[in-house]
Amino acid sequence: MARYDFASDNTAPAAPEAIQAILAANTGFASGYGTDKVSAQAADLVRALVDADAEVRFVASGTAANAVSLAALARPFEAVLAHRHAHICTDETGAPGFFGQGVGLIGLPGASGKIDPAALAAPLAAPDLSHRQSPAALSVTNATEYGTVYTAAELAALTAPVKAKGYGVHLDGARLANAAAAGFDLKAIPGLGVDILVVGGTKAGMPPTEAVVIFDRAVARRFDARLKQAGQLPSKGRFYAAPFIGMLSDGALVRHAAHANAMARKLAAGMPFRVVHPVEANAVFVEMDDARLSALHAAGWFVYRFLDGSVRFMCSWATTEAAVDEILDAVRRLA
């Protein structure tokens, strides 16, 4: 039997709080394109989450949310600075370039998915040259692709020099809930100079939905038209907003993420292979050769080799302790 429990955090079903909120919202007629009361209520909850009077929109796709955001911050002949293994650089089929008509990506190094602050210096100091795409924005991801979590201070060390240049900042929060559960203070985000934040719903245990939070009012101008043209202004907006109500009303978002993080710690603790990145969120990366990975696949467990060559195990709100024990059993048999 194929087991996708640890393949990704998007293999999980939706959490009951999200589903219940959809059922509750699915009543009567509602005005379209995000102008309904469900969307308004959800937006209030997102604003409260980050403690800021920002514009909030709910969209279907994290890839599109990121790409549309970057297109709002950088023009085609400019570039976005990001960790070289950031999702926008490696896993979105060039969506930033598609939505941004060729907008460039400048991949930066840094251990375990965190951008090395020293790596920012050169691109920020480089003179504008006409034959290359100069930076116009920074994209950071928290929690990172490698399951590590920036502190607010660490992010500030990245965003401060970027804002000093007048450039924009995008925060990819596909796993923001996991970062929050690991201690990252969401209310610090506005103070970091973030212009656009994407709060991930999908990986946090919702049906597909992401909240786009626009802190900069100039960037927000005509954003609905921007979204509509990009196929990200849903007519039945309540279906993307309602899950956030379910997950934010009583803290389920962070509570579920805390569970996912705990499952990752439990998994890491039992691993017979070397764990190669700090386990701060919901991922565990281990050193494993091809033969063992194939054997694990053959045993029915789908996990994947990642960009850095290690093998990734993802936990989610739906990961059970029993499943952790089961996969650890399977892994130990390989060792």
Task: Report the site for a copy of itself in 26-55 (rule: CB under 8 A).
Answer: 26-33
| Total chain residues near a copy of itself (CB under 8 A) | 78
The smaller minimum CB distance to a copy of itself, of residues 134 and 310, is found at: 134
Longest Cα separation, the chain: 58
Q: How far is the CB of 132 from a copy of itself (least distance, A)?
A: 6
The smaller minimum CB distance to a copy of itself, of residues 113 and 200, is found at: 200
- For residue 199, state whether it binds a copy of itself (rule: CB under 8 A): no
Residue 80 pairs in a beta bridge with 105, 137
Pairing of strands 283-286, 210-214: unpaired
Kindly state the tokens that stand for 240: 């993307």
Q: Identify which of 149, 200, 162 has the alpha carbon closest to the alpha carbon of residue 73.
A: 162
Q: How far is the CB of 274 from a copy of itself (least distance, A)?
A: 26
- For residue 4, state whether it binds a copy of itself (rule: CB under 8 A): yes
Q: How far is the CB of 63 from a copy of itself (least distance, A)?
A: 5
Which residue of 51, 216, 224, 326 would you call a contact of a copy of itself, by CB under 8 A? Answer: 224
For the chain, how big is the Rg over CA atoms in Å? 20
Amino acid at 36: D
The smaller minimum CB distance to a copy of itself, of residues 196 and 233, is found at: 233
Q: For residues 245-304, which are near a copy of itself according to CB under 8 A?
A: 302
DSSP category for residue 137: E
Asked if 324 contacts 330 with a C-beta cutoff of 8 angstroms, the reply is: no
DSSP category for residue 187: G
Asked if 256 contacts 205 with a C-beta cutoff of 8 angstroms, the reply is: yes
Please choose, out of 22-30, 107-115, 182-190, 283-291, the segment that lies near a copy of itself by the rule CB under 8 A.
22-30
Distance CA(178)–CA(9), nearest Å, equals 11
- For residue 235, state whether it binds a copy of itself (rule: CB under 8 A): yes
> Which residues, in sequence order, are CB contacts of 155 under 8 Å at separation 6+?
140, 142, 171, 188, 192
Q: Identify which of 265, 277, 263 has the alpha carbon closest to the alpha carbon of residue 310.
A: 277
- For residue 12, state whether it binds a copy of itself (rule: CB under 8 A): yes
Distance CA(53)–CA(44), nearest Å, equals 9
Asked if 247 contacts 17 with a C-beta cutoff of 8 angstroms, the reply is: yes
Please choose, out of 149-157, 230-238, 288-296, 325-333, the segment that lies near a copy of itself by the rule CB under 8 A.
230-238
Q: How far is the CB of 138 from a copy of itself (least distance, A)?
A: 17
The smaller minimum CB distance to a copy of itself, of residues 16 and 272, is found at: 16
Distance CA(218)–CA(65), nearest Å, equals 18
Q: How far is the CB of 31 from a copy of itself (least distance, A)?
A: 5
The smaller minimum CB distance to a copy of itself, of residues 154 and 224, is found at: 224
The smaller minimum CB distance to a copy of itself, of residues 9 and 280, is found at: 9
- For residue 20, state whether it binds a copy of itself (rule: CB under 8 A): no
Q: For residues 59-78, which are near a copy of itself according to CB under 8 A?
A: 60-65, 67-68, 75-78
Residue at token pair 């504008």: 128
Which residue of 50, 80, 96, 247 would you call a contact of a copy of itself, by CB under 8 A? Answer: 96
The smaller minimum CB distance to a copy of itself, of residues 166 and 335, is found at: 166
Distance CA(188)–CA(198), nearest Å, equals 15
Q: Counting beta carbons within 10 angstroms of the beta carbon of residue 28, is it exposed (0 to 12), middle (13 to 18) or buried (19 or more)?
A: exposed
User: What x-and-dash track marks residues 76-95 binding a copy of itself by CB under 8 A?
Assistant: xxxx----------xxxxxx
Q: For residues 97-156, which are near a copy of itself according to CB under 8 A?
A: 97-104, 128-134
The smaller minimum CB distance to a copy of itself, of residues 22 and 258, is found at: 22
Cα angle 120, 125, 128 (rounded to 5 degrees) comes to: 120
